[in-house]
Amino acid sequence: MSVDPEALTALRRDLHQHPEPAWREFYTTARLVDELERRSVDALYVGSEILGGERTGVPDEAELTEWRERALAAGAREDVVDRLSGGQTGLVAVLERGDGPVVGVRVDIDGLPVMEATDVDHLPAREGFRSENEGYMHACGHDAHASIGVGVIDAVLDSAFMGTLKVIFQPAEEVVGGGGPVAESGHLDDVDDLLAVHVGLDHPAGEVVAGVGGFLAVQDFQVEFFGESAHAGGNPERGRHAIGAMATAVTNLHSIPRHGDGATRINVGRAEGGTANNVIPEYAQIDAEARGETTELMEYVDAHAERVVRAAAEMYDCEVGITRGSRAPSAESDTALTALVADAAREVTGVTNVLDTDDLGGSEDATYLMRHVQEQGGQAAYVVVGTDHPGGHHTPRFDVCEEAIPTAVEVLRRSVLAVEAGR
């Protein structure tokens, strides 16, 4: 099957109209199954078949049910949705084309809790494919990524490639929750070369980064402070001030010393507690994250953070509970594979500039997949295909230049064939 840019654009717009957050990608998974069943793929693994190990960031059953019903109302096939019980979303498509390398392509499929812009200057609003799920949107290009994954299958089917192609449509990237379970599923155990792809990331249309590095390892954590309520005017001495502990923790978390061996980060993104201004608060909570240029540096910040919050709780005679959530390690793209991608990209019409490498400066759970392949003796590269977009990533006006989709497909097609030739 040859690549049809108009069909890929239509798919992207459909997915954009039906964004779903992490572990709730029911419609998205079902829609992709529809597309891939119409192609000559040799195997299609869905839901629990692509996940191993523990998942993080999974919503409760009531929310999963709500999103399941949304998907069905939007036209998702019930037989596919039934295979996604418990929010076990995502899929892996496999093409087997004789002896040769096993090449993996990873794309992500989840959306974000962002309210999409409504003004006519915003293309999805003007063209009628703005999000139907209010408060959620594809604000990072994952709708384009999923379409690129389908396009790569079309392109390889239309080529003389000899080997095995695995396209991984990974759920729950935005909560760094899906990469680990997919990496532990067994589907990557025989992969020789892995190509992960992302559009944009502040690179303009026409620019390609052959192998991104500089991934920050990340650890999310939640802290709960348990004190004792009391009348703030009449008996303040009887209370144990949970917000006082929380505020002390927030201040001191941001005072953790940086490390001389590389970049470190700490951020408290959410804090709440209390019930009224005349009540000593008995409960408070913060949601935070620790990052580091390496996994070891992230663990340095995480360990300091635990000491800080426990000391803050002790100051106010409060109990404290720490729950660690989603996590992703650092990773680097392999130089040899990056060189193949760079050479392939330079041959693609519309590509005007190729960077061998660039630092991400953020976190991504594709690192789990990359490191798994590398630990098995293979190579991995994280490829960025530039796109112009009116708003930054994770903002209400984010959108992609749709010409980036066939460009990315062609870059990956040529890269897959270059891997085969190099083997």
131 and 69 in a common domain: yes
Does 148 share its domain with 258?
no
Q: Which of 12, 332, 97 is nearest to 194 (CA)?
A: 332
306 shares a domain with 411: no
- Predicted confidence at residue 423, as pLDDT, reads 72
Other C-beta atoms lying within 10 Å of the C-beta of residue 257:
9
**Of 296, 328, 360, the domain-final residue:** 328
Range of the domain at 308: 217-328
Structural domain ending residue among the three candidates 294, 328, 362: 328
What's the structural domain count of the chain?
2
Structure token digits, residue 215: 């991934």
Which CATH number characterizes residue 405's domain? Answer: 3.40.630.10
Alpha carbon of 93 to those of 34, 107, 142, 147, 308: distances in Å?
12, 12, 17, 13, 46
Quote the pLDDT of residue 1: 66
Q: Quote the pLDDT of residue 389.
A: 87
Residues 401 and 297 in one domain: no
Q: Could you tell me if 374 and 249 lie in one domain?
A: no
* Whether residue 155 is found in the same domain as residue 273: no
Low-confidence ranges of the chain (pLDDT < 50): none
Same domain, 100 and 194: yes
Residues 108 and 164 in one domain: yes
The CATH code of the domain that includes 282 is: 3.30.70.360
Residues 251 and 227 in one domain: yes
Q: Assess whether 342 and 320 both reside in one domain.
A: no
Among residues 284, 300, 328, the one where a domain terminates is 328
What distance in Å separates the CA atoms of residue 139 and residue 21, rounded to the nearest whole number?
11
Do 31 and 152 fall into the same domain? yes
Which H, E and C letters describe the chain, residue by residue?
CCCCHHHHHHHHHHHHHCCCCCCCCHHHHHHHHHHHHCCCCCEEEEHHHHCCCCCCCCCCHHHHHHHHHHHHHCCCCHHHHHHHHHHCCCEEEEEEECCCCEEEEEEECCCECCCCCCCCCCHHHHHCCCCCCCCCECCCCHHHHHHHHHHHHHHHHCCCCCEEEEEEEECCCCCCCCHHHHHCCCCCCCCCEEEEEEECCCCCCCEEEEEEECCCEEEEEEEEEECECCECCCCHHHCECHHHHHHHHHHHHCCCCCECCECEEEEEEEEEECCCCCECCCEEEEEEEEEECCHHHHHHHHHHHHHHHHHHHHHCCCEEEEEEEEEECCCCCCHHHHHHHHHHHCCCCCCCEEEEEEECCCCCCHHHHHHHHHHCCCEEEEEEECCCCCCCCCCCCCCCCCCHHHHHHHHHHHHHHHHHHHC
Q: Kindly report, residue by residue over 199-230, the tens digit of the pLDDT.
A: 999 999 999 999 999 899 999 999 999 999 99
- How far apart CA 161 and CA 354 sit, in angstroms, is 24
Q: What is the pLDDT of residues 292-313, one digit of tens each?
A: 999 999 999 999 999 999 999 9
This prediction has a pTM of 0.93
Q: Are residues 149 and 231 in the same domain?
A: no
